[in-house]
Structure 1
C-alpha cells in the first residue's frame, strides 16, 4: 500500500518567513490555487509571479536565501500581483495604483500582528505612499530589509566603497569605482575598460588593486 505524504505548508513556510505569518500565507496558497515555490537565489529579483498560461495556473516563486522579513514582503508583493491579475488581467500596469492598493490591503494583517520591526514597517508604508517607487527595488525598503540579513564575510555594497576602489562581482569580473552619478555608480571593468552602472546596494567583494 502506498501512503501519500503531505507536507505541512505552515511548518515549511515557517522555515522561511516569520512563524506568525505562515498560517495566512498557507491559506492564500490554497484560496488562490497557487503553485508556490521556494526558489534558488536570483540576483536580478527576489521573487516572481506568473499568471495562468499554457495550461498552468498561478505560479509564485521566492528566493530561498532571503531573511524572514524580506521573504514575507516579497511573498505579499507577488500575491498582490496575483490578486490584481484576477481582477484586471492585462488591463492595468504591473505596479500601478490597482496593484499598490492590493499590496497595501494584503499587508495590513501583518501590520496588525506587529510582525515587522518598526523600521521595516515604516519603509513599507513609505514605499506604498510613494507613487514614484515602482517595485521592491525601492532603495529605502531594500536597505531596511537587508539590514536583517546575516553578516556576509567580505561582502560590501557599492555605495560604501571609496572612489577608485577595486571590487569583483559573483562571476569573477573585476571593476574600479569611478564616480557616483544621479542614482547609480559609474564603474569600469578592469580587463575590458568598458563602463557599467551599478546600483548603490549591489553586493560586491573588495579586492586589492
Structure 2
C-alpha cells in the first residue's frame, strides 16, 4: 500500500503527503509502534548498518500523532546538523521543531487551541520536552474516551487505582508537580505525573 495512504489512517489527511516526503528525503525507517506507556515516540540516529529510525505509537489521536512525528523529525534534523553536540531538547532542536511545524500551521491542520498550545510551548524555554502539561492536556481533548481510564489529577484524594500491570495504589497529596501515591501491597511511595493514565477502582 502507498505510504501516504497508510499515514492518512493516523495523521490529519492534509499532513500525510509532507510526512511521506520527509520519510523519503531523510531516508528514514518510520515505524508505527504499539502503545508504550512511557513515551509517544522515539528517534534513533544512524548506527552500524541502520539509518535514521523513528517510531510513533499507533493509538495517538491524529493531532498528537502529528505533533509527536514532527517532534521526532526535529531530533533527526538536529542530529544531521550537530550530531551529539546539541542537547536533546536544546535551542537547536526547538528551532528545528518550530521550522518543521510551520507548513502544518500554514495548511491550518490544527484546531486553534492546539496551535496556541504548540506556540506557547515553543516560546517557553522552561518546557524542555513534550512533558509540557498544557500541550499534553490540549491534545488529550481530542482522544476518543476510553471507558474506566482516568488521569491521576482527576482522582479524589485517597482514591484507589490500578495500573496496566495490575499493581494497586492509593492517591495521596500533591507534592509540587507530582502526586504522592502509595502502592498498597508494599506501602512504597511513588510519584505520579498528573496526566498518568490509570484505572479507578470503585469503592
Q: TM-score, normalised by structure 1?
A: 0.96
Alignment match of 1:79 (pick from 73, 82, 88): 73
Tell whether 2:129 aligns with 1:105. Answer: no
**CA deviation digits over 1:3-27, x for unaligned, max 9?**
xxxx301100000000000000000
Tell whether 2:18 aligns with 1:18. Answer: no
Tell whether 2:4 aligns with 1:46. Answer: no
Within 2, Cα distance between the matches of 1:124 and 1:195?
A: 33
Q: Shift of the alpha carbon at 1:134? A: 1.2
Tell whether 2:66 aligns with 1:89. Answer: no
Tell whether 2:63 aligns with 1:69. Answer: yes
Residue 34 of structure 1 aligns with which residue?
Answer: 28
Q: Shift of the alpha carbon at 1:208? A: 3.2
Structure 1: runs of 5+ lacking an equivalent? 1-6
Tell whether 2:128 aligns with 1:134. Answer: yes
Q: Which has the larger radius of gyration?
A: 1
In angstroms, what is the RMSD of aligned CA positions? 0.7
Q: Shift of the alpha carbon at 1:135? A: 1.1
Query: Which consecutive aligned stretches of 4+ in structure 1 deviate over 2 angstroms post-superposition?
Result: none
Q: SS at the partner of 1:114?
A: coil
Structure 2: runs of 5+ lacking an equivalent? none
Within 2, Cα distance between the matches of 1:29 and 1:206?
A: 40
Q: TM-score, normalised by structure 2?
A: 0.99
Q: SS at the partner of 1:197?
A: strand
Aligned length: 203
